[in-house]
Amino acid sequence: MVKKIFILSALISFLGLSAQKTHTVAQKETPYGISRQYGLTVDELYRLNPSKKDGNLKIGDVLIVSKNGSSPVKTAAPVVATSAPKTGKTGTIALLPKQTIYGITKQYHISEADLRKLNPELDSHLKIGDLVTLPADNIQKYAGSASPAPAQTVVTQTVTEKPAEVKPAVKTETKTETSTDNSLYVVQAKDNYYKISRQFNLTQKQLFALNPGLESSGLKPGEAIRVAGTASFAPVQSSGAIQVEDNSQSNNASAPITKTTAAVSNNTVASGSASADDYVTYTVQSGDTMFSIMNRFNVTLDQLISLNPNLSDGLKAGMTLKIKKQDPMYSKKSGDVLSVVLMLPFGFDANDAKYRTMAMDFLTGAKLAAERNAANGQKLDIKVVDAGNENTFKNSLSQINQDNTDLIVGPFFKSSVLEVLNYVNDKKIPVVAPFANSSDLFDYNNLIIVETESSVYSDRIVKEVGQVYQDQKIYIVADSSKANANAIKDGLEKSLSKPNIVIVNSSSDIKLDTNMMTGQAVPVIAVLADDDESAGAAFASKMVALGKQAEGSKAFSMFYSPSFEKNVDDLSKVSLVYLMDRKIDYEGSFEKEVLASYKAKYCKTPSKYAVIGFDVMNDMLTRENKKGEIFKQIGKTQTQLATKFEFVKAKPNGAYINNGYRVVRLMQ
């Protein structure tokens, strides 16, 4: 039996299949998923298809999925997949925020294969506002069938005899959430919009709608705000993580505005403490799109809709929009040479070598990235600064020329990052934090945070477990802090009906119960919430054993472990799903080229921190333009040597956080 590893992006989409008496096995499908789709148990599926009982399930197999020839029980609304357009005519729709490949196939009743035939570049250079080609008949028939959120009424539909130039669609997972419960929440000292929205499964638009004036007045510790209510919301799509994206944060990253000339109307002041000077008005011009307006004024879709409810009727030329001003972002004063400061904790001046090896490795990767970009014509002036340690860091600030620095990469520690941000606050120089990630950094709109928050991973695991859960006992293997384990437990208790969840300190504590009637071991779900390598090895060993004892046991891990790749075949039997923020594709041409260059230059393979140094520097430099306007490119999703970068706003007019990660599924 051939086992395959499918490495998927956090932006994964699934194609629904129409309910029918037979089912053709598609890529990524499992017996459990198929049986659940048709209201069967796995045993019933195998009884209907006895030749597949040994697990010999292959792509293209045709399975019987109806008992006694009756129609299957529908557990989810099926998607009717149609083939090529009947008339031969095609049209285009404009890609909307958070719209997915799956959503398009479902709404417009087209198979994913046919969608990709019409849009061969569907998965590259993804952004909102791109045009997606569809059969004209399908557009005319199904354009209004998805009950979209207000912003989704803004759709351009053009019928052509041949497919228009096609730009790709964003590939994400979505879910629909509504708020119905009455509840108040007391704001805590370090709360922000992003944190509260995530905690209560709201979008920021919903949060502001529940609390008029909150966006302009801000959060105040001790103040009670409404986090759910009886207000009726249109369904709002929430993408999976970081973004990816299982959070409800808008993942629209717009270019900054550097100049605003529109006049301010006296009758467009929002409630709260904000004044008319905090807003501008803009008259929509012919040819404007939601994306172009968001890009021009550096605002999110939620912000636009909350201030302009009439957008629910669509964007029309001549309408006047109220838009909250954003702080202007950084742009070079003169010249086309990018001046970059790289702040690393060598500790020579402080006589502290604790992080020196880490800093030296980071530098080798960053240097290689800089040399590659310079060879491609980018003009760079890079200054390396010894950031010392946290006690002596202030001495290194004097080496930053505030009038001639376009980008600062580093320092490593949160306290030092805060000092740099305050030091360059008036200049708004972009600062990249490779490792620091804390809520008290979210207020700085010139900050780019590389490390993905652990909550992004725990949220994703909750989603993954929920998709396969069938009343199994759930074990969560915790680390010493138990923070990740508790987050997963809380999420599962909110999303599942009376789950039996046990947090354990070691994989050896996972125990199988016995069915008193049959005497057989009862399958369990096990989750690893510990990133220690030895914990990963122990988890892999335990799950291999459980897979042999109890068919149907499932395994999930928040983190990658080398042991997973060493036990692919056996771990496939428990359908292991794990998340990964850094992994090199050794078969990729780009990766091969970079690794060969590094080995030729340093006579060794890059260490973990050398890889991070390359990825961070290469990602930032490829987003820069000659004017130093890095934030104009911040919305692009890019994967470097090992790291996926997908930045979202932590809060309106706040820092950007990387929500990029990949999902790996081991399948039989």
Q: Domain for residue 545, yes or no?
A: yes
- Output the pLDDT for position 36: 65
Same domain, 446 and 470: no
Average pLDDT (509-526) is 92
Same domain for 397 and 302: no
Residue 418 in any domain: the answer is: yes
Helix/strand/coil for 522: coil
**Could you tell me if 442 and 459 lie in one domain?**
no
Number of CB atoms found within 10 A of residue 401's CB? 10
Can you give the residue range of the structural domain that contains 649?
Answer: 337-451+591-658
Cα separation, 329 vs 572, whole angstroms: 48
Least confident of 181-190, 264-273, 578-587: 264-273
Q: Who wins on pLDDT, 247 or 454?
A: 454
C-alpha angle 205-206-207 in degrees, rounded to nearest 5 = 90
pLDDT, average across residues 193-213 = 73
Last residue of a domain, one of 40, 62, 84: 62
Same domain, 465 and 552: yes
Task: Name which of 150-154, 524-528, 545-549 the model is least confident about.
Answer: 150-154
Contact (CB, 8 A) for 413 and 436: yes
* Domain assignment of residue 420, yes or no: yes
| Whole-number percent of the chain with pLDDT over 70 | 73
Same domain, 564 and 463: yes
**R_g over Cα of the chain:** 26
pLDDT in tens, 598-622: 999 999 999 999 999 999 999 999 9
pLDDT at 330: 82
The burial class, CB within 10 Å (0-12 / 13-18 / 19+), for 377 is exposed
pLDDT the model gives residue 228:
66
Residue of higher predicted confidence among 547 and 260: 547
Answer whether residue 482 is part of any domain: yes
Query: In terms of Cα–Cα distance, which of 455, 417, 365, 428 is closest to 648?
Result: 455
User: Do residues 595 and 654 share a domain?
Assistant: yes
Lowest mean pLDDT among 76-90, 325-339, 407-421, 616-630: 76-90
Lookup result for tokens 């048709």: 38
Over the stretch 337-395, which tens digit does the pLDDT of each residue have? 999 999 999 998 788 899 999 999 999 999 999 999 999 999 999 999 999 887 788 88
Q: How far is CA 292 from CA 296, 366, 480, in A?
A: 6, 34, 48
Residues 536 and 603 in one domain: no
Asked if residue 541 and residue 570 are part of one domain, the reply reads: yes
Model pLDDT, residue 591: 94
- Assign residue 544 the CATH number of its domain: 3.40.50.2300
pLDDT, greater one: 180 or 421: 421
* CATH code of the domain in which 35 resides: 3.10.350
Q: What is the pLDDT of residue 55?
A: 58
Q: Is residue 414 over pLDDT 50?
A: yes
Q: What is the pLDDT of residues 156-175, one digit of tens each?
A: 333 333 333 333 333 333 33
- The rounded mean pLDDT for the chain is 76
Domain C-terminal end among 553, 580, 607: 580
| 649 — pLDDT class (breaks 50, 70, 90) | confident
Identify the band that residue 129 occupies on the pLDDT scale cut at 50, 70 and 90.
low
Q: Roughly what angle, to the nearest 10 degrees, separates helices 589-602 and 356-375?
A: 120
Same domain, 635 and 542: no
Q: Has residue 444 been placed in a domain?
A: yes
Tokens 């980008």, residue located: 407
pLDDT at 215: 67
* 121-125, 199-203, 275-279, 535-539: range with lowest mean pLDDT: 121-125
Residue 644 counted as domain residue: yes
Angle, alpha carbons 490-494-497 (nearest 5°): 120
Do residue 514 and residue 399 come from a single domain? Answer: no
> Which is more confidently placed, 663 or 89?
663
User: Tokens 């042991």 sit at which residue?
Assistant: 563
Name the more confident of 249 and 556.
556
Judge if 367 and 516 occupy the same domain: no
CATH number (domain holding residue 289): 3.10.350.10
| Per-residue pLDDT, 98 | 56
Most confident of the following: 82-91, 123-132, 269-278, 646-655: 646-655
Task: Give the best-scoring range by mean pLDDT among 194-198, 242-246, 479-483.
Answer: 479-483
Confidence of residue 315 (pLDDT cuts 50, 70, 90): confident
* 16 falls within a domain: no
**Nearest by Cα to 149 from 242, 59, 237:** 237
| 220 part of a folded domain | no
Average pLDDT over residues 479-494: 94
Q: pLDDT (tens digit, 9 = 90+) per residue, 264-282?
A: 233 333 333 445 567 888 8
Say whether pLDDT at 13 is over 50. no
Confidence of residue 318 (pLDDT cuts 50, 70, 90): confident
Q: Name the domain boundary from 525, 551, 580.
A: 580
Largest CA distance in the chain: 80
84-105 average pLDDT score: 68
Are residues 168 and 126 in contact, defined by beta-carbon separation less than 8 angstroms? yes
How many structural domains are present in the chain? 4
* Same-domain check for residues 369 and 479: no
